Structure 1
């Protein structure tokens, strides 16, 4: 046992020690490292493409806005035309209403006495008939004084009444006095007779005088008309 221990110790002493073994330094290359070649590329084409794209986008936006504004303007113009047309129509309707109302008021004023005037002309006719019943020879200076005075009084009354009625738009007319041409709008033909010295269609005799109320026929005149053929 002792021998084995001594043998091991001698073997370990005979082994070289590795504690102080020389260090192996790595081989360092003395070649100078050269940096790889750098290539420079121009970004001008890319910038131009970007600017072109931006301009194109801006142009598209401007065109869209312009189209929208144009549409809005056309719409507003159409609304203006429609409103102007409605305004002109309203003004025209209002003016027509004013004129119609004015005519109606004036007509009501002018013909308010139409019924009264129609009844009154009968009294005027009676005065005219009374004057016509007195022969002309009895109205001479040597005639009946009372009859002449009565005739003059009736004639004066008739003249004053006709003058007063005329102030209110009621006028009496006698077609045969002026030899008027027959007019069916204001005359009523009662008979026809030949008159060699007159033309056909002339009113040569008045059976009943006519009346106008503010230019409108209140009662047509009844007349005899010339017919030679």
Structure 2
């Protein structure tokens, strides 16, 4: 019974296995080809090596060029700021100078507004001087009497008129100076800025350059000579 069982298993195994070895090998090969992927022919990989030194230098050059460009732009902006500041300071200085000039011009216009009017009055003042000098000193020094009362009153009126006129002009900056007055007991020296020499003559009692005669007195308007005094100057040499 045991032998029959072994025999049956052997027959079953034979029925399962293919009868032809070539057919089984072919089937196995097809199955293997279907399962395995198609293999490509082997090709050796070649590695290429590139130098990065050139790229590094190009990058450094680009950075340096960019820095130079930024530096130039910054320098140009700084120059522009300096120029604008200089222009601004010049404009401010010019504006201040203009204000000062306008102020000086206005002050001068106020101070010398009566210059023409004052010049027209100088002849009247000179005529008053001539009228007073026309009266002899002896008559003025004599006591006032009925005979010379009118003369004294006339002289007093002329002197009062001259004094009031000069005081009024002094309030507006016009003053008279007399080069014939002694300074510390000495005669004044000729000054071309203040005096006009009409003649020159020798004098034993004076030194060269002394003012010995006054033809007409001088006038200043706010410190500026409005009319120089006409004088005679000593010249002994």
Q: TM-score, normalised by structure 2?
A: 0.70
CA drift of 1:180 comes to 2.5
Q: Which contiguous aligned blocks of 4+ residues in structure 1 show a shift greater than 3 angstroms?
A: 20-26, 52-62
CA drift of 1:88 comes to 2.1
Q: Does 1:217 align with 2:225?
A: yes
Q: Does 1:180 align with 2:188?
A: yes
CA drift of 1:216 comes to 1.8
C-alpha RMSD over aligned residues: 3.0
Choose the corresponding residue for 1:159, options 159, 163, 167: 163
CA drift of 1:55 comes to 6.5
CA drift of 1:141 comes to 4.7
Aligned to 2:132: 131
Aligned length: 192
- Trace 1:69-218 onto structure 2 (pairs within 5 A): 69-143=70-144, 144-178=148-182, 179-218=187-226
Change (3 A) 1:71 1:135: same
Q: TM-score, normalised by structure 1?
A: 0.72
Change (3 A) 1:118 1:23: closer
SS of residue paired to 2:192: coil
Change (3 A) 1:62 1:141: same
Q: Which moved more, 1:57-66 or 1:214-223?
A: 57-66
Choose the corresponding residue for 1:227, options 220, 224, 235: 235
In structure 2, runs of 5+ residues without a counterpart are 1-18, 27-48
Distance, in Å, in 2 between the alignment partners of 1:170 and 1:120 is 11
Distance, in Å, in 2 between the alignment partners of 1:200 and 1:62 is 88
SS of residue paired to 1:224: strand
CA drift of 1:53 comes to 7.7
Change (3 A) 1:168 1:23: closer
CA drift of 1:118 comes to 0.8
